[in-house]
Amino acid sequence: MASGVTNYQCPACTGPLQFSGSGGNLACEYCGNAYEVATIETLYTDKEQMAAGAAPINWETDQAGTAWSESETAGLRAYSCPSCAAEIMCDATTAATSCVYCGNPTIVPGQLGGALKPDYVIPFTVEKEAAKSALLRYYKGKKFLPKAFMEENHIEEVKGVYAPFWLFDGQADAAVRYRATKVRVSRGGNYETTTTEHYRVMREGNVAFHKIPVDGSTKMPDAHMDAIEPYDYSGIREFSTAYLPGFLADKYDQDAAECAPRADARIKTSAEMALLSTVTGYTRVTPEYTSVRLQQGEVRYALLPVWMLHTKWNGKDFLFAMNGQTGKLIGDLPVDTKRYWAWFFAISLPLAVVMLIILFVL
């Protein structure tokens, strides 16, 4: 015979509730609060409905990207890196001499194929000289940076790359229940009294999302791409190969369906933060139940501008990335341990000598 057990928790302190035969209520042995049975049943019914309402998100990916025409592909070149398997495309006049991701100097030309034509592009507005200057400023003052990073011929290798992004549109219906408290402390004579008030707070709302970016290349580190956001979509244009001359373009290796979970997570987090921002005036707020449903999700394919510089030092890869539209940058920097210890001993040894003189001579 099947059996089921339901354990109710106190809305105030999450302690277990037990039925009190004498009072006819559900009582919490920890905080002492008591609740009518109908109140707790309603609370848990709402919880089950919210959980059931969190339906899977189905993105409309059929409209993302279009097919290349023969005239467009005739003016493009495709390169593949035999070292890291990156695939890069550029116009016929752009010299691609090394891989932007691993620095491998050998790249193999081939035919462009197996990829969709982007719907949109955000053109580069930050020039190469500005990117190099920003990189030098980023390095400036870092005493223990290896000299290889500061060499002019190395900084000259910074490359403009159009990174592949899937842009997700959608509308989120979100509902969150919070457990909130207000704590007041009062003093009288030799006593201090702390009063804690418990609240159940509900928030529901509808949030529209437009062009949530998720990069479609496994070679592009997600943390770097997230760090250089946001892009200004007022500068977005219908895609044209006219924006490619002088730049490289990475070929996506993750389609929209593969990138959808990251978009789902970003939408859920953003919707929750939007609702949480409306819950004010409390000492502490803790979410209890959350439901986020997305409607009418559409996806488009775009190329977004990134200045990149790869450096390999002591067998490790370090990547500098800059938003090619806004100039926001992020970079990995190593520490030259030899320079660090040389600096350390140059400072510490004279100080040690001075201390010895003070202690034993004077």
For the chain, the structural domain boundaries read 1-53, 70-170+205-268+296-331
Our measurement of the distance from residue 151's CA atom to the centroid of its chain's CA atoms, rounded to an integer in Å, reads 31
Give the mean pLDDT of 28-50. 67
List helix spans (H) across the chain: 37-53, 70-74, 128-139, 147-150, 152-155, 222-227, 256-276, 337-360
Residue 2's pLDDT band, with cuts at 50, 70 and 90, is very low
Both structure tokens of 109: 């030309």
Position 152 scores a pLDDT of 53
DSSP label at 142? -
- Res 171 pLDDT > 90: no
Q: Where are the alpha helices (DSSP H) in 2-78?
A: 37-53, 70-74
Q: Mean of the pLDDT values across residues 168-187?
A: 90
Calculate the average pLDDT of the chain: 77
- 37 three-state secondary structure: helix
Which is more confident, 320 or 104? 320
pLDDT in tens, 187-204: 887 888 889 999 989 999
The three-point CA angle 152-322-260 to 5° equals 145
* b/e 59-76 (16+ beta carbons within 10 angstroms → b): bebeebbeebeeeebeeb
Spatial separation of the C-alpha atoms in residues 334 and 317, rounded to whole Å: 10
Who contacts 239 (Cβ-Cβ below 8 Å, separation ≥6)? 117, 118, 119, 120, 121, 302, 303
What's residue 344's pLDDT?
Answer: 43
Give the whole-angstrom CA distance, residue 215 versus residue 226.
9
Rounded Cα distance, 304 and 243, in Å: 11
* 223: exposed, middle or buried (Cβ count in 10 Å: 0-12, 13-18, 19+): exposed
- The SS3 call for residue 64 is coil
Length of the chain: 362
- pLDDT score, position 211: 92
269 within 8 A of 294, measured Cβ to Cβ: no
What would the pLDDT profile of 52-76 be if each residue is shown by its tens digit? 444 555 777 777 878 777 777 777 7
Other beta carbons within 10 Å of 134: 19
Which residue in this structure is represented by tokens 């990138």? 259
pTM assigned to the model: 0.70
Phi, psi of 213 (to 5 degrees): -85, 135
Mention every residue, 6+ apart, whose C-beta is less than 8 A from residue 85: none
Integer CA distances (angstroms), 284 to 81, 108, 174, in order? 52, 58, 21
Position of tokens 């928790």? 9
